Amino acid sequence: MTRKSAGNIVILTGAGISADSGIQTFRGSDGLWCGHRVEDVATPEAFRANPALVQDFYNRRRRQLLEPSIQPNAAHIALAELEKNWRGDITIVTQNIDDLHDRAGNKNLIHMHGELLSVFCNKCETRFHCREDVTTDHVCANCQETGTVRPDIVWFGEMPYRMDEIYEALSYCDLFIAIGTSGHVYPAAGFVAHAGLNGAKTVEINIEESQVASVFDEHISGRAAETVPEYVKQLLTYPDI
């Protein structure tokens, strides 16, 4: 990673930033995940036990993401503007598997939990861009094996992607911002402590306090689509962080 100057920012985003684009968050009041128990759809064991159910779950989410009504909202757009205009490094670490940060224009972006529009083959490990449904009789275009292509999603029990790069960015950031994440899932929920211990100022933006709210220096309350553009405007106007 190239370091431009001091003033580096790491921004962790979660389902709350995409809620304002019409994508449902994970932890609703019923404790279910879009109607399913986590262990039935988001573990390697679930995929082995019932691949059709798991593929169907992600097919439905992929189709929803590709609906014309689902677009980056003002929060995604503000973060892309920040990356273009900020003097230091902006690293977005997203837990979201949608592509709304990509579409908004952020380039220095880490999809730590994978991407809905990507699949890979369990046998030959080839990755493919994917905008279609995947069924259990899908044939891998590289190794020709049947039924081995799975969603490129980091499931529970699997290692999130690009952790070395994330911890490096956290170690060198001056400001850490978490937007729309409940703080239930580690390692992401521990990033605030890591950044804080390394001297960063830490800010949480959420409609409610997260599980790890007490670890942050500051909490900004409100919907991401309203609070994030305001916060970015302030940062660009008074860039002394």
- Which residues here bind ligand APR, judged by CB under 6 A? 14-16, 19-20, 25-27, 95, 113, 180-182, 184-185, 206-208, 210, 223-224
Q: How far is the CB of 57 from ligand APR (least distance, A)?
A: 13
Burial 214-235 (b: 16+ CB within 10 A, else e): ebbeebbeebbbebbbebbeeb
Token reading at 210:
């997260």
Q: Which is nearer to ligand APR, 202 or 206 (CB)?
A: 206
Q: Which of 76, 101, 111, 113 is catalytic?
A: 113
One DSSP character per residue, 15-47 reads HHHHHTTT---S--TTS-BTTB-HHHHSSHHHH
Q: Which is nearer to ligand APR, 88 or 160 (CB)?
A: 160
Q: Which is nearer to ligand APR, 25 or 126 (CB)?
A: 25
Q: At what angle do helices 224-237 and 74-85 cross, to 10 degrees?
A: 20
Are the C-beta atoms of 205 and 41 separated by less than 8 Å? no
Are the C-beta atoms of 51 and 217 separated by less than 8 Å? no
SS3 73: coil
Q: How far apart are the first and last CA of the chain?
A: 21
Q: Which is nearer to ligand APR, 106 or 181 (CB)?
A: 181
Q: How far is the CB of 113 from ligand APR (least distance, A)?
A: 5
Q: How far is the CB of 3 from ligand APR (least distance, A)?
A: 28
Q: How far is the CB of 205 from ligand APR (least distance, A)?
A: 7
Give the chain's radius of gyration (CA, Å).
18
Token reading at 189:
């929920």
113 is catalytic: yes
Is the four-CA dihedral 216, 218, 223, 228 of positive or negative sign?
negative
Active-site annotation, residues: 113
